[in-house]
Amino acid sequence: MSRVLAVLVAVVVHLLTHAFIVLGILLIARTPGFILTWLIGGFLIALGVMVRPRLGRISHEAEVLPEASAPHLHGLASRVAAEAGVPRPVVAVHDLGLGATYERVGLRRRPVLTIGLPVWLALSPSLRVALLATACAHHRWDDGLIVNGAKSTLAEARAALFVLGGSEVRQRAHLEMAMTLGAWAPKTGYETASWLGRMVGWIIGWPVVLMQAVLNRLTEAGRARAEARILETSAAVAGPDAVAELAEVITTRSYLAPMQSAALRGEDVASIRLAALDRAAVREMVSGEPGAPVTVISESEQIDLELRPHYERAVRGLGLLS
């Protein structure tokens, strides 16, 4: 029941978003000769565009890999996606990513699986499968486009009305003007405009806060069930031991410091990868967990060869991670 109510609230949010744009256009069209209607109509249109639902897009920092350049990686991603019950994705890599995400982007809702190269370089073959399986399972059991889009819209609206502070550029310009003009400079124009903007936000923004609270409450009710399904799906694909170990590795980021140190010492990608596999082998010996099948290990090695140029670029950026 909470799922149905969440979708209904999300639909209302989307209708209101489009209503701002339609109302602004109608207002201008009916009285085009008045400057006030242009100001109000333009404001409504701009507000509707600003809080419009986002369809998602591939990050500018990610690089989509053609299947011809990485056939083994695409093959692994396709098999994991099929076992997790999601469509076959396009594969992209992120030089500074510390996880993996599966999302649908654009008007065509193209599925894209984005893999963070630092964490991928550090994981054992079995944990690589667990990483992809977890990303696919998260998408399968998330709140969906309608509800997630409404959450994004409400977050954008709340940030615009309450969170945004003063523009640093405008504040610096105001200070320079005051230093130049001295006593002739306006004293409180910037502060007054900022104060008025906040007051308007609080006056017209309370429905945003209320709808956001209602939507969050409705989706919270199903979150525990969704998390259980995510864990069940990813464990069915990669095994419960691998999924549990992956969660610990992702949370602690214990792999990151040794990789950064190796990069600072000037070690190449091959030695960094070998050290990561040695650490993974030690964890398997201590925990008593079986390693990955030989076929998975062989495929993982082929993927490393495909990603070698991307690894080298990612290793140069390891110092930017914290």
pLDDT of residue 189: 52
pLDDT tens digits, 188-199: 554 555 555 555
pLDDT tens digits, 126-164: 899 999 999 999 888 776 777 777 777 777 677 666 654
pLDDT at 166 over 50: no
For the chain, give every domain's residue range: 1-52, 62-143+223-320
Q: How far apart, in whole angstroms, are the C-alpha atoms of residue 134 and residue 123?
A: 14
pLDDT at 179 over 70: no
Closest by CA to 299, choosing from 84, 129, 99, 134, is 129
- Give the long-range contacts of residues 84-89, CB within 8 A, separation 24 or more: 84/133, 84/136, 84/137, 84/140, 84/233, 84/234, 84/237, 85/136, 85/140, 85/233, 86/111, 86/136, 86/139, 86/140, 87/111, 89/113
Q: Residue-wise over 69-86: b if at least 16 C-beta within 10 A, else e?
A: ebebbbebbbebbebbeb
Average pLDDT, the chain: 78
pLDDT of residue 98: 86
The whole model's pTM is what?
Answer: 0.72
pLDDT of residue 203: 60
Q: Are 190 and 171 in contact (CB under 8 A)?
A: yes
Q: Are 80 and 133 in contact (CB under 8 A)?
A: yes
The 8-class DSSP code of residue 87 comes to: P
